[in-house]
Structure 1
Amino acid sequence: MTNLTVEAVTCEYRKNPLGMDIKRPRISWKIQSDLRGTMQKAYQIQVAVHQEDFHETIWDTGIVQSDESIQIEYNGPQLESRTRYFYRIKIWDNHDRESDWSETAWWETSLFSSEEWKAEWITPDPKQLDLHSEAAFLLRKEFTLKTGISSARVYGTGVGLYELFLNGGRVGEDLLAPGWTSYHKRLQYQTYDITEQLQVGTNAIGIVLADGWYKGNLVREDHRNIYGDTRAAKLQLHVTYHDGTEEIIVTDPTWKAATGPILFSEIYHGQTYDARLEKEGWSQSHFHDEDWEDTIIPDMPITKLVAQENVPVRVTEVLKPMESFVTPAGDTVLDMGQNMVGRIRFQVRAPKGTRIVLTHAEVLDKEGNIYFGNLKFAKQKVEYIAKGEGIETFAPNFTFQGFRYVKIEGYPGQENGLPLDHFIGEVIHSDMESTGTFECSDPLVNRLQQNIVWGQRGNFLDVPIDCPQRSERLGWTADAQVFIQTALFNYHGGPFFTKWLRDLQADQLPDGNVPFVIPNVEGGKGSAAWGDAATIIPWTVYQTYGDKRLLSDQYDSMKAWVEYIRRQGKNEFLWNTGFHFGDWLALDAKENSFVGATPKDLIATVFYAYSTRILRDAAKVLEKADDVEEYSILLNHIIEQFNQEFVSPAGRLVSPTQTAHIIALMFDMVDGKAKERTAYELNELIMLNDYHLNTGFVGTPYICFALSKGGYHETAVKLLMKDDYPSWLYQVKKGATTVWEHWDSIKPDGSFWSDQMNSFNHYAYGSIGNWMYKVIAGLDMDATSPAYKKIKIEPKFAGISFTSAKAIHESMYGKIVSSWQLTNDQVAVEVVVPPNTTADILLPKAKLVDVYEGDELLVTGDIYSFIETSEGVKVTVGSGSYQFTYPNEEGLRPRFTENTKIIDFLDHQEAVAVLEKVAPGITKPPALFTTKARSLKELVEIGEANLTEDKVKEIMEEINQLEWEEVLV
């Protein structure tokens, strides 16, 4: 039995994908091995049309000498539409082992051409049913099938949103289908396997149609019918029999139409459902639809249908409410304990006609009343009218709410308290695979990580929306690009961003400009750091997943964006014209302004350089030699002009803002002494601001990276650990369970930022997660080897407060772990490297002779590549699990931890300085760190200083009031 296996086989990122229109899909796999240093030396892929018979393959690669195990493109005969293909993989490794075949996997194609669509668009006859009715439409048809059904598939879509029913049951679990795209240019359709739901004889199929994004209220209060004013559906059902014959049932004017219990359903506003109007059995056979209306074929402005690209939106988790209570204003409120996105499902026994109203909100005000002010014109209201027949269960569809609290009205007996077991919260988002975790020794930072993840879940609903509660919920480009790396660590976003980038490309203007939101419903044009999503996101997806095809597909879009910038103004090397959002919501903004103090042309020119650098690097990957040369030259000119325009001869940036310094450092706009000075002055700006940031959307994602990169890592950690306003942990201490839009969405006195724009679930500032994973935990990749083929493990021990940190990421090659822990005596670093990859590991402050790997000294073990440097010991390893330990002798041990604000580790001289300042007369101050004591309290307990307990508390309180600069100047 071999201990080398092929696992987690996927096609286009998915396990057994149903309904793809990709003609040359790509196959990936992961390797499991019980030996360290395992590398694939060769692979073989076989593809067949019969699961049981791989002797008749349509494609057999033979043994391919290669270490590639991701994104291997199918290169066999042309695929057929509506066909299932089975495939399997085996590999050979560098230990001369051959694996068994993997488990057989499959992909199934859908419709490859528009000619294969036999169905028509249908909608109710407007002479019989008001097409502008707020009520959702019901469409139905009966059909008869003979015996011997082998398989059946539905290919369906609709505008706005649709749900499919067959023989009385719901088809699939997808919500908000077909998703939100640039509808006139591309509309997704879904594929469902309905074989088990069909029956011999008479069957019935039904469709529910609601407005959704297509024609519902969007952006502004009076703004509707953005894409069209007619709901419609298109569907065809293919039934294959054992004898090889086939029947096709399609949407056409033989279908019947009516309205039902959904009287109103909107993305922003919620739903009104009258259970008394339910049409029992409407999607079952033998239903009497004689009084239903006719359907017609409308003239629809949609020409291009594409198979589902993104993962579907689904219910991914169920939450139970924590409590219910009555507010000072007298409202009965349900508390879910978590700011979530989704819906409430409830059950009730009530008299016929009872109206139950649920109104959703994120927070309570300082008086303890439920707060709706930040919703703008969104109602977030669900109304249910009971039919009065036993226990009724209900959850709304075609809508979603962002909420933690729910105001309940009309629930029978609620004056005696709500029965909590009758309510659950269903969490809804794009059903992405979780791929990352982070934890550390600080519970507030762990809660911050949870908030980042919940913010991502709540705002990734088919598109990366900016907020899920108020009347906005749009695909803002800046939010997506600043968060993209954090997003792709936490969740697998390959299909999600592939779909969204194709809409970006579709909505990109003819001159290359990129609208503010995608899909483009605002009509706005581009801004620096917003339109740059066109380059940043495809490049990041390529780096994370090795997706060269997506990079190639988006290359023209990337190039068009850079060329658009290049044409702006008189100087092609500066971007100093046009509208820009600047450092949006920065705290250094002028009164009554959303835009920070950093000059917009400085920001624009930096992002111009950044996008140009990405474009050049993409050209290298795609082997476009002429473009590599052209954009290398352009990049050099932009940087040169930036330095002439924004940097003094002495190396000082003209803008004395944190953000100006951050982005100049982060994107390598300055070099040499100017770079040193910029890093120094950034640190000074933050110190002078009491170690607080004042950055907005542009500066915040990179602030800690710029500090750590510039040699001021401890300042970066102090920023993270601040828990007063403004800071990440201030939000946590204020009870946040998602990331806020404003640093002071809730002010220190409990009042709110302006109702005008105040989301309590806005993921952009959650981009700090990327720094936590890469720098604190130290889990990163070598940029020259995408998809973590070559891993970089370089933790920076955050001695100011952390005693441990751990990041885990499930990469395309497998699970990567970077974990470290500090005790008084020892540093421990654990690393897991997946097969078919290597890792360069830095053990900070280690000495080679002291490092153990497992139970053996590193120098005598089986790891062959290591070296001691000024930074510590650098080790190169292949796959496997590694446990490194070495003495804690280099100022890495935990620092004051008992209720102190200043918890930096002090060396001997600093300890004396602090103690002499706050406690003169201590007899033995030098003993402070000659023992294993971690605090003054411990010193008292072990008798190393003649201090009483009260004196220790007094000293600690005085230390809390100090900053190191006061002590050590």
Structure 2
Amino acid sequence: MLTVQKLRVEYKENPVGLDVRFPRISWQLQSEKRDVLQQSYEIEVSAEADFRRRLWSSGRVYSEQSSHVELAELMVRSRQRYYYRVRVWDMEDRSTEWSETAFWEMGLLAQEEWQAEWISAPLSLLDVEAEQCPLLRGSFHTAAKPLKARMYATALGLYELELNGSRVGDGYLTPGWTSYGQRLQVQAYDITAQIAAGENAVGAWLGNGWYKGNLGWDNRRHIFGSRTALLMQIHLTYEDGSEQIFATGENWTAAAGPILMSELYHGESYDARLELSGFSRAGYDDSRWSRVELITHSKEMLVAQANVPVRKIEQIKPLKLLKTPAGETVLDMGQNMVGWMQFSLDAPRGRQVELVHFEVLDRDGNVYTDNLRGARQKITYIAKGGGPESYEPRFTFQGFRYVQLTGFGEEPSLQDFTGIVLHSDMERTGFFACSNPLINQLQHNILWGQKGNFVDVPTDCPQRDERLGWTGDAQMFIRTSAYLMNVAPFFTKWLKDLSADQLDNGGVPFVIPNVLGENEHSSSAWGDAAVICPWTIYQCYGDKRILEEQYPSMQGWVEYIRQQGQDEYLWDTGFHFGDWLGLDAKPDSYKGATDTALIATAFYAYSVQLLQKTAGVLGRTEDARQYSELHSRIKEAFKHEFITPSGRLSVPTQTACVLALMFGLVEGTAKERTTDKLLKLLEESGHHLTTGFVGTPYLNLVLSEAGHTDAAYKLLLQTDYPSWLYQVTQGATTIWEHWDGIKEDGSFWSKDMNSFNHYAYGAIGDFLYRHVAGIELDEAYPGYKAFVIKPQPGGGLTWTAAALETMYGRICSEWNITADQLEMSVSVPPNTSATLYLPKADLPRVLEGDVPLEHAAGVHSTEQLEHEVKVILGSGDYKFSYKLGAQ
């Protein structure tokens, strides 16, 4: 039986508050049959859940498309809820039933619809330098219980709202971090259940956040503005169709709240004695509060939230309570995590307790905070007394495994502490495990590195005074991140900020949102995020719209490079980070030894190639032709500049070889010699890498694609320094910034730049999925409409199991080797097809289930190749088995 399931709008399930004028619908098919393809579909949209009043119908559309179907003819209206359902026909012209009904709801689509005014605590109450956070309050009356109630809210700074004593929504760090001067997100909430007939009250907490708080390492504050403010509007709809609006305005009041200090880097100080209990409830006496001030601030930049919210995702209980040699009381959470501690205590009024969060103990087993640099990561709480009380922060987060406790007494109870894991609530899509427990721990570390650093923006580290959206780190890790989680909404939002912050000449700031100096922009491999990230999202999710929206940005970046220096086909001018943290760097340098002009020109070529492909996808034929010609000329210039007449690469480093091979800049003899040179360099280093941020993501991929998977496995499985598994053997639970963040003698690489949760080197996850498990894109069929499964067993692994939840459903690839027998299980989602390569297989010996391969249902074709069997599969679940060996 064929059914339609997992209906989504703009990647989201039943979203409220969209501002996408032409929403896109996606769905999946489910069937126990093999070889299922969609022949046609029909979508209906209604104003009511029972579809009595149909607003729009696609009619029967003959197409296999089941993701990102744009409702281009539907004219959407602000605040309207739209119900939709889908049915499909298969290739045998059999129809499904209608899917279950799903919906989306539009937000406020026009600036004119905002009656709310920006309100702020008066400067006479809290001046711009005050660290104490304000509370705001307003009340309104309803004649009856409304049929529908919606709240739309945003802030300058961070906000948290309460309605009639209950928290509104489950998002944190709202409204999120964007390029505030041009884009400020609005959250929409369904508050129908929280509204009462009669008197109602709204209370708001405001925090500094990214808007006016401390950002960067120069102790800068007020980067985007100096005053926190709230903008909030409630729309009530009654049974008779009448409406009422309640909004922020001059009749609201303000008071200084119990949060004495709140900073993203430094933590929070909270005096429970100053709590104003019940301030968000009707009837609260606010006669001693101050009137708010209306402030002038534009509403032109208001946009609906595109990313998934930051939420509390999971809880961790501490593993143990430590007494350090220095006498410190420390909680060990057992996992380097990001979020905060929730704790309870029963203490006399005025008792002060402190929690200092940090990542590692020093080699003597004592508290180590030097690598936090200026970030304090401290929570201070002053008890109100009178019985048990509990606390957790609101407007900060910490990166930590350990927590030093002060003021809790000699033997605090572990039961009183809970770690709250916080990150953007991305759907988990990728799963990988194998027979080697060290690699499984590495996969765990990669995943937790993504959890800790995808907190609304892709941060470089979650603990020290940085936590910025470095462009280079993001493009290096994006493909791995798209295996682990659905990151399409996350990067859609971030890339819009990249476009917003992009310079008029096309240059790209080092960090997005940009909080660095006006000259901090446009390094190769960093700025290339403008091109690499949209192309990767398109490839992984079939999202053509992101290419359309980002095309001016992509083109702007390429044209910026083209204007640099004397030769438009080489990039040999300007500042570049180079192969950042490469192990072949000179002493006291962070830059690896690879010539920055080679790196810059290689990435120039790569970005031009991707832009050419993007132009082709978008039907920009002339652009595609011009960029194809430009790419050819850059390749020729690269050859002239960096390849000797005899075909040798003139820069003899691992990273130079990797980039030349990965980006297709060497061919024929030069390609062979570059591959041989890379293998020789690895041999000379004892088969260890010397690459930094630029070369490492591609190293194992290049080796495997050149037919040297054995060399890639050797690198992967090294356990001594420098290697991925060295970190694992040192007890890492996330990916480190440095290969030797902790040295073998227990000392540290550096205190200045030594994060133990830094996802860049986690890009090795790409190799695990694409080559070890073998799940790979087919570039011609983006979004895994058609894909490749080509596992490459090796490294002594006896089994691997991986799965990837795509827009079409779950892909699975599992292989198991016992003696000379290989068994492989594969899942191909309905409405897709796969090209499977069975390694070391002899076609006549391959069984699918207990049937010879060529006779199995769903198998479209088979072909014996030199070292493998190629199989074209329709959808379904398959089990293959055969004896390994030559034909």
TM interval, short-chain normalised? over 0.9
Q: Paired residue for 1:436? A: 430
Distance change (3 Å), C-alpha of 1:206 and 1:444: same
Distance 1:852 1:496 in 2: 42
State the shift of 1:888 in Å: 2.4
Contact 1:436 1:490 in 2 (8 A): yes
Name the structure 2 match of 1:604: 600
1:367-406 matches, cutoff 5 A: 367-406=364-403
Among 251, 254, 261, the residue aligned to 2:251: 254
Query: 1:878 aligned to 869, 874, 878, which one?
Result: 874
Deviation (angstroms), 1:712: 1.4
After superposition, where does 1:805-820 map in structure 2 within 5 Å?
Answer: 805-820=800-815
SS at match of 1:65: coil
| Aligned mates of 1:149, 1:639 — CA distance in 2 | 66
Kindly indicate whether the alpha-carbon contact (under 8 Å) linking 2:22 and 2:74 is maintained by their aligned counterparts in 1: no
| Maintained 8 Å contact 1:44/1:60 | yes
Following superposition of structure 1 onto structure 2, how do residues 438-477 of structure 1 map, counting pairs within 5 Å? 438-477=432-471
Q: Secondary structure at the match of 2:285?
A: coil
Q: Tell me if 1:517 matches 2:511.
A: yes
Q: Which one-letter code corresponds to 1:696 in the other structure?
A: G
Q: TM-score, normalised by structure 1?
A: 0.91
- Residue aligned with 2:442, SS: helix
- Contact 2:2 / 2:30 at 8 angstroms: preserved in 1? yes
Deviations 1:286-336 (A, max 9, x none): 111111011111122663100111100010000011000100010000000
Question: Which of 721, 725, 737 is the matching residue for 1:725?
Answer: 721
Aligned length: 884
Name the amino acid aligned to 1:25: P
SS in 1 for 2:35: coil
Contact 2:7–2:25 under 8 Å retained in 1? yes
* Aligned partner (choices 477, 481, 495) of residue 475 of structure 2: 481
Within 5 Å, give how 1:545-694 maps onto structure 2.
545-694=541-690
Contact 2:25-2:67 within 8 A present in 1 as well: yes
CA distance in 2, matches of 1:872, 1:755: 50
**Paired residue for 2:268?**
271
- Given candidates 176, 180, 190, the residue that maps to 1:179 is 176
Q: CA RMSD in A?
A: 1.0
On the 8 A contact 2:578/2:594 being kept in 1, the answer is: yes
State yes or no: 1:833 paired with 2:842.
Answer: no
**Contact 1:676–1:710 under 8 Å retained in 2:** no
Q: Deviations over 1:2-53 (max 9, x none)?
A: x10000000000010110011110000000012100000000000000111x
Q: Is the 8 A contact 1:132 1:230 kept in 2?
A: no
Give the partner amino acid of 1:536: I
SS in 2 for 1:106: strand
Give the unaligned 5+ runs of structure 2.
Answer: none
- Is 1:126 the counterpart of 2:126? The answer is no
Does residue 47 (structure 1) correspond to residue 45 (structure 2)? The answer is yes
| 1:751 is the counterpart of 2:736 | no
Q: Which runs of 5+ in 1 are unaligned?
A: 892-969
Aligned residue runs from structure 1 range 117-266, under 5 A? 117-266=114-263
Task: Give the Cα separation in 2 of the matches to 1:299 and 1:60.
Answer: 44
Contact 2:854 2:861 survives alignment (8 Å) = no
Report the CA distance between 1:801 and its aligned residue: 1.8
- Report the Cα offset of residue 128 of structure 1: 4.1
- Counterpart residue identity of residue 554, structure 1: Q
Match of 1:20 among 12, 15, 18: 18
Please tell me whether the aligned partners of residues 819 and 831 of structure 1 are also in contact (alpha carbons under 8 angstroms): yes
Name the residue aligned to 1:846. Answer: 841
Aligned match of 1:352 in 341, 349, 352?
A: 349
Paired with 2:128 and 2:359, the residues of 1 have a C-alpha distance of 35
| Structure 1 position 508 matched with structure 2 position 502 | yes
Which residue in 2 is equivalent to 1:904?
A: none
Q: Are the equivalent residues in 2 in contact too, given 1:237–1:250 (CA < 8 A)?
A: yes
| 1:342 paired residue number | 339
Residue identity opposite 1:149 in structure 2: P
Secondary structure of residue in 2 paired with 1:755 = coil
Structure 1 residue 213, shift from structure 2 partner: 0.3
Determine the C-alpha separation between the residues in 2 that align with 1:882 and 1:117: 56
8 Å CA contact retained: 1:827, 1:887 = yes
2-structure distance, mates of 1:482, 1:860 = 43
Counterpart in 1 of 2:856? 861
CA distance in 1, matches of 2:804, 2:693: 26
Report what 2:492 is aligned to.
498
Q: What does residue 818 of structure 2 align with?
A: 823
Q: Which runs of structure 2 are paired with 1:284-433 in the superposition (5 Å)?
A: 284-300=281-297, 303-411=300-408, 414-415=409-410, 417-433=411-427
Higher RCO (CA 8 Å, separation ≥ 6 residues): 2
Code of the aligned partner of 2:339: G
Instruction: Indicate conservation of the 8 Å contact 2:125/2:255, yes or no.
Output: no
Measured after TM superposition, the shift of residue 352 of structure 1 is 0.6
Q: Check the 8 A contact 1:184/1:303 in 2, yes or no.
A: no
Give the superposition deviation at 1:114. 0.4
Q: How far is the alpha carbon of 1:389 from its aligned partner?
A: 2.1
What do the CA deviations read for 1:732-789 (whole angstroms, capped 9, x no partner)? 0000000000000001111001101000000000000001100011011111100000
Supply the distance in 1 between the matched residues of 2:860 and 2:729 (Cα, whole angstroms). 47
Larger Rg: 1
Structure 2: distance between partners of 1:300 and 1:48 = 37
1:6 match: 4
Contact 1:214 1:228 (8 Å CA) reproduced: yes
Q: TM-score when scaled to structure 2?
A: 0.99
Q: Contact conserved, 2:34 with 2:875, CA < 8 A, in 1?
A: yes
Asked if the contact 1:31/1:836 (under 8 Å) is kept, the reply is: yes
Give the deviation of 1:96 after TM superposition: 3.1
Shift of 1:221: 4.1
Conserved? CA contact 1:59–1:75, under 8 Å: no
In the alignment, the residues of structure 2 paired with residue 374 and residue 872 of structure 1 have an alpha-carbon distance, to the nearest angstrom, of: 50
Displacement of 1:124: 1.7
Deviation string 1:87-117 (CA, Å, 9 cap, x unpaired) is: 0000000133210000000000001110111
Higher mean displacement: 296-305 or 243-252: 296-305
Cα 1:860/1:192, change in 2 over 3 Å: closer
Alpha-carbon shift at residue 702 of structure 1 (Å): 0.3
Q: Deviations over 1:431-453 (max 9, x none)?
A: 00000011111000000000000
Q: Which amino acid aligns with 2:721?
A: Y
* 1:802 paired residue among 797, 800, 824: 797
Q: Distance in 2 between matches of 1:509 and 1:376?
A: 30
- Could you say which residue in structure 1 is the equivalent of 2:709? 713
SS class of match (2:736): coil
Q: Which amino acid aligns with 2:281?
A: Q
Q: Deviations over 1:879-910 (max 9, x none)?
A: 0001110012359xxxxxxxxxxxxxxxxxxx
User: For the residues of structure 2 that align with 1:31 and 1:25, how far apart are their CA atoms?
Assistant: 20
Supply the AA of the counterpart residue of 1:472.
E
Q: For residues 142-188 of structure 1, what are the alpha-carbon distances to aligned partners after superposition, in whole Å with 9 as ceiling and x for unaligned?
A: 11111141010000000110000011111111100000000010100
Q: Distance in 2 between matches of 1:519 and 1:734?
A: 34
One-letter amino acid of the counterpart of residue 808, structure 1 = A
8 Å CA contact 2:145–2:195 kept in 1: the answer is no
Q: CA deviation at 1:55?
A: 4.2
Shift of 1:492: 0.4
SS at match of 2:147: strand
Q: Secondary structure at the match of 2:83?
A: strand
Q: Percent identity?
A: 53
Q: 2 CA distance for matches of 1:49 and 1:846?
A: 56
* Deviation readout 1:800-854 (Å, 9 max, x if unpaired): 3211112100000000001111110311111100000000000011001100000
Letter in 1 for 2:287: E
Structure 1 residue aligned with 2:764? 768
For the residue of structure 1 that corresponds to 2:112, the secondary structure is: helix
